[in-house]
Amino acid sequence: MSGAAAAAATQPVLAITSLRIALPQGADRALAVDGATLAVRPGQTLCIVGESGSGKSMIANAVMGLLPRPHVEPTAGAIVFEGRDLLTLTEPQLRELRGRRIGMVFQEPMTALNPVMRIGEQIGEVFDAHLDLPATEKRKRIVAALADVGLPEPELLIDSYPFRLSGGQRQRVMIACALALEPALLICDEPTTALDVTTQAQILALIRELQRRRGTAVLFITHDFGVVSEIADQVVVMQTGRVVEAGPARQVLEAPQHAYTRKLIAAIPDGSAHRDAPGDDDPTRVLQVQDLCKTYRSGNGLFKRGRVVQAAKDISFELKRGETLGLVGESGSGKSSVGRCLVGLAPFDSGRILFKGRHQAQGAAFRQQAAGKIQMVFQDPYASLNPRHRVGAAIAGGPIAQGVPRADATARALELLQLVGLGADAASRYPHEFSGGQRQRIAIARALAMQPELLVADEPVSALDVSVQAQVLDLFAQVREQFRLAMVFITHDLRVAAQMCDRIAVMQRGVVVEYGQTAQVLADPQHAYTRQLIAAVPRLASAVARDGAPIAAQATA
């Protein structure tokens, strides 16, 4: 802990008072941040919570002096860091502070590291910018920094390139970078949003542990109240640029005052099983999967053997009408590969897929046999709609291709838009005019237009804000009942799976390690991996019952 921070233990490290940040004309509101006031004390974590667009990242960027000036300009207020107003400092003065006194960790670990620089060089840059160290001393400190964030074999890692590291490991490197010079303040902008639940739990534990050891103040930005409950001491809730609620974490989480906070907390899937198994004795199986195997070969060349990855091994399950199966697992567990095999977008090696009792061929013939009755909702709502097609045409396109008269298809598209809660006037607009949640609704309408019997949803809500997530999940539940769809719901989030699914299959490295009724799997997990997944889920309760035991840094991140 630095001397200055220790001396001023009660003084806030960072105090923001009535900060206002103006947006350029033509933006959807005049002020990105309107009168935000908050204070971060040494050794404490302040979480700024809000949906995307609430202005929470703007505050972080204002502290770092990273606002795209002059388009986005702080117009009023002060950001006092260690007795100096950051808004009045010049660029060289700010540069002196960045890295040395304030560190920052970004959301996307996959792009935050320079792919052509060795890990050691990237951390070394921080030292080069602020200190003049001899090479051996620098190397020693880089190794120490890497070891500090729980990375395995730092001596070897220092000379490797980022592509060798997983997302969680990269985020650890970013944290090592940010903390290399022991700054008084660490800003984390959604550092775990792009990570798996288990990795997220490890990273959060790491941040807490480093903070406890060094007394760093942490400004933590997130949209997930589950994460808040894991890490926050103080909470600031933001809505459209305004602070609507602030206070100690326990108080805000247990007795939220503002309606918006209550809405955000209520939107968190609580991880308990909601669904009663449909009391429906329809014996027809919509989908039967028997011993499905799928391997990927990469880098196969003329002279070398490629790497073989087993994405699915002996997967078997059945699905009746109106039933939902959850495929749960971390990224790389093969759940998406199985999903793509089910809809016929990827070939499989062996095994059988029977749709309505009929054996499905491979490839294009698979899709022809299915005749559009197997549909998929994709993860990224920004990539799943053609930016050049109007929404109405995008929805009607499928039925038209199947031979439905154009007028009928268009009329049906309008109906469906209404059904998913968008209104018929959406049909003549382009996808870029819609938000992520609205686009996902359009994607659902497009899938429904084919009158499918099986719907495969591949992480359909993981790119969405929590409250939007809840609405989209409700829509899924609604259309499932209405059309008696069989659904395969692929997700990494056990909470979501618990809410949506009748049965859950937990996948790890291409193998289903646990399969059973949702309530049973959650209440009485048999496999160690399932228990690990359940333990990693951030829970509101954990803020109350958080114990202070240091967490062993896990090298598997």
Tell me if 27 contacts other proteins by CB under 8 A.
Answer: no
174 class by beta-carbon count within 10 Å (0-12 exposed, 13-18 middle, 19+ buried): buried
Which of 375, 438, 440, 499 is in the footprint of other proteins by CB under 8 A?
Answer: 375
Amino acid type, 491: T
Tell me if 450 contacts other proteins by CB under 8 A.
Answer: yes
| Residue 118 three-state SS | coil
Tell me if 382 contacts other proteins by CB under 8 A.
Answer: yes
Tell me if 432 contacts other proteins by CB under 8 A.
Answer: yes
Which of 122, 202, 384, 518 is in the footprint of other proteins by CB under 8 A?
Answer: 384
CB of 491 to other proteins, least distance (A): 17
CB of 464 to other proteins, least distance (A): 13
Which of 367, 509, 527, 539 is in the footprint of other proteins by CB under 8 A?
Answer: 367
Tell me if 401 contacts other proteins by CB under 8 A.
Answer: yes
CB of 431 to other proteins, least distance (A): 9
**Residue 35 corresponds to which tokens in the numbers above?**
């009168």
How distant, in Å, are the alpha carbons of 121, 191, 211 from that of 98? 18, 18, 18
Q: Which strand (E) or helix (H) includes residue 505?
A: strand 503-508
How distant, in Å, are the alpha carbons of 9, 61, 189, 201, 229 from that of 44? 10, 20, 16, 19, 14
Amino acid type, 512: V
Tell me if 542 contacts other proteins by CB under 8 A.
Answer: no
Distance (Å, whole) CA 392 – CA 386: 12
Kindly tell me which of 389 and 546 has the beta carbon lying closer to other proteins: 389
Tell me if 376 contacts other proteins by CB under 8 A.
Answer: yes
Kindly tell me which of 244 and 286 has the beta carbon lying closer to other proteins: 286
Which of 19, 443, 522, 533 is in the footprint of other proteins by CB under 8 A?
Answer: 443
Kindly tell me which of 382 and 483 has the beta carbon lying closer to other proteins: 382
Kindly tell me which of 176 and 479 has the beta carbon lying closer to other proteins: 479
Tell me if 345 contacts other proteins by CB under 8 A.
Answer: yes
Kindly tell me which of 124 and 399 has the beta carbon lying closer to other proteins: 399
Residue with tokens 């409250």: 467
Residue with tokens 């997130």: 222
Distance (Å, whole) CA 217 – CA 13: 7
CB of 430 to other proteins, least distance (A): 9
Tell me if 383 contacts other proteins by CB under 8 A.
Answer: yes
CB of 174 to other proteins, least distance (A): 24
Kindly tell me which of 187 and 343 has the beta carbon lying closer to other proteins: 343
Kindly tell me which of 191 and 452 has the beta carbon lying closer to other proteins: 452
Tell me, by CB under 8 A, how many residues bind other proteins: 33
Pick the piece of the chain touching other proteins (CB under 8 A) from 377-385, 413-421, 468-476, 541-549: 377-385
Residue with tokens 């406890």: 212
Residue 221, phi then psi, degrees to nearest 5: -110, 130
Residue 531, phi then psi, degrees to nearest 5: -60, -40
| Residue 377 three-state SS | strand
Amino acid type, 264: L
Residue 285, phi then psi, degrees to nearest 5: -90, 120
Residue 353, phi then psi, degrees to nearest 5: -120, 120
Tell me if 437 contacts other proteins by CB under 8 A.
Answer: no
Which of 251, 257, 310, 435 is in the footprint of other proteins by CB under 8 A?
Answer: 435
Tell me if 388 contacts other proteins by CB under 8 A.
Answer: yes
Kindly tell me which of 194 and 217 has the beta carbon lying closer to other proteins: 194
Distance (Å, whole) CA 553 – CA 5: 26
Tell me if 446 contacts other proteins by CB under 8 A.
Answer: yes
Amino acid type, 246: A
CB of 420 to other proteins, least distance (A): 15
Tell me if 489 contacts other proteins by CB under 8 A.
Answer: no
510 class by beta-carbon count within 10 Å (0-12 exposed, 13-18 middle, 19+ buried): buried
Which of 86, 265, 328, 374 is in the footprint of other proteins by CB under 8 A?
Answer: 374
CB of 339 to other proteins, least distance (A): 11
Q: Alpha helices of 235-389 — where are they, by DSSP H?
A: 249-254, 259-267, 335-343, 363-370
Kindly tell me which of 447 and 504 has the beta carbon lying closer to other proteins: 447
Tallying the residues shown for the chain, one arrives at 557
CB of 426 to other proteins, least distance (A): 17
Kindly tell me which of 191 and 344 has the beta carbon lying closer to other proteins: 344
Pick the piece of the chain touching other proteins (CB under 8 A) from 37-45, 160-168, 181-189, 373-381: 373-381
Which of 257, 402, 467, 554 is in the footprint of other proteins by CB under 8 A?
Answer: 402
Check the CA dihedral 340-341-344-348 and report its sign. Answer: positive
Kindly tell me which of 161 and 430 has the beta carbon lying closer to other proteins: 430
How many CA atoms does the CB half-sphere of 51 hold within 13 Å? 20
What residues contact 269, with CB distance under 8 A and at least 6 apart? 469, 470, 473, 493, 495, 496, 498, 499
Distance (Å, whole) CA 286 – CA 356: 5
Q: Which strand (E) or helix (H) includes residue 121?
A: helix 119-130
CB of 372 to other proteins, least distance (A): 5
What residues contact 266, with CB distance under 8 A and at least 6 apart? 470
Pick the piece of the chain touching other proteins (CB under 8 A) from 199-207, 217-225, 246-254, 371-379: 371-379
**Residue 541 corresponds to which tokens in the numbers above?**
């309760």
DSSP 29-64: SSEEEEEEEEEE-TT-EEEEE--TTSSHHHHHHHHH
CB of 388 to other proteins, least distance (A): 4
**Interactions with other proteins, residue window 195-224 (CB under 8 A):** none
Question: Which residues are at the interface with other proteins (CB under 8 A)?
Answer: 343-345, 367-368, 371-372, 374-376, 378-380, 382-389, 394, 397-399, 401-402, 432, 435, 443, 446-447, 450
